Chains A and B, each alone.
Chain A
Amino acid sequence: AQSVTQPDIHITVSEGASLELRCNYSYGATPYLFWYVQSPGQGLQLLLKYFSGDTLVQGIKGFEAEFKRSQSSFNLRKPSVHWSDAAEYFCAVGSNSNQFYFGTGTSLTVIP
């Protein structure tokens, strides 16, 4: 069965500290993997995506993610968090038919 697990419901980091948000997936075919960010009351903004090729993908706002097939993971990282990064982050897996499965999200709080 297809599923996405984001083990961390809520993470708090200090501004300037590094960040890693975890994502594990279960998918029967070659996955397309995505990270989205959602600010309160807003829609989803795509941070980055992995379809194929280089397993380390760069996204917007200084985010990157690494696809590790052996671990079925696609963790999101940022070397230095800014206060404006506080939001809800969703990992998603899909296929070229675009059936998306979302994780339950990780809420990020950034403290000064």
Chain B
Amino acid sequence: GAVVSQHPSRVICKSGTSVKIECRSLDFQATTMFWYRQFPKKSLMLMATSNEGSKATYEQGVEKDKFLINHASLTLSTLTVTSAHPEDSSFYICSARGQPVGDEQFFGPGTRLTVL
């Protein structure tokens, strides 16, 4: 199957700083990428959907100025958590779909963010 990578796998930062998480499709063109947030013992909550070259569409309740998403190429999307606070600590997972993989979403391994 298609491979999606995320970098870094873990990041610890101080409160007030910004953190960038990368999501890459390694062997297909990701026309659409999705960012999810997963709290402990909870389901994945979709944060936003981004189409290559377009602005991301954010789910209700997700602050677009805090969670900046860029999808500038067919293989890379980035999520930047700006002015991070401890409550932003979570597991962030991206997924991607595109060509030639079709309708299926392929998930990255996730990034564990800890804000001190």
Interface residues in chain A, defined as those with a beta carbon under 8 Å from any beta carbon in chain B: 32, 36, 41-46, 49, 51, 90, 94, 96, 98-100, 102-105, 107
CB distance from B111 to the nearest CB of A (A): 10
Shortest Cβ-Cβ A-B pairs, 5 listed: A43-B109, A44-B107, A102-B43, A104-B43, A102-B44
CB distance from B103 to the nearest CB of A (A): 6
Q: Taking chain B's interface residues, is the majority helix, strand, or loop, or is none over half, making it mixed?
A: strand
Selected from A36, A41, A103, the residue in CB contact (under 8 A) with B107 is A36
Complex Cα gap A53–B97 (Å): 22
Residue B69 is within 8 A (CB to CB) of chain A in the complex? no
A105: chain B residues at CB < 8 Å are 41-43
Assuming the A-B contacts A44-B93, A90-B44, A103-B43, are A98 and B103 also in contact, with contact meaning beta carbons closer than 8 angstroms in the complex? Answer: yes
A100: chain B residues at CB < 8 Å are 34, 44, 46, 95, 105
Name B34-79 residues within 8 Å CB distance of A. 34, 41-44, 46, 49
Residue B87 is within 8 A (CB to CB) of chain A in the complex? no
CB distance from A91 to the nearest CB of B (A): 10
Q: What total count of A-B pairs have CB within 8 Å?
A: 50
A98 touches B107 (CB 8 A): no
A98 touches B105 (CB 8 A): yes
A90: chain B residues at CB < 8 Å are 43-44
Selected from B34, B49, B110, the residue in CB contact (under 8 A) with A42 is B110
B25: chain A residues at CB < 8 Å are none
A43: chain B residues at CB < 8 Å are 4, 6, 93, 107-110
Residue B112 is within 8 A (CB to CB) of chain A in the complex? yes
Known contacts A36-B107, A42-B110, A98-B97; 5 further A-B pairs (Cβ under 8 A): A43-B110, A49-B104, A90-B43, A99-B46, A102-B43
B112 touches A41 (CB 8 A): yes
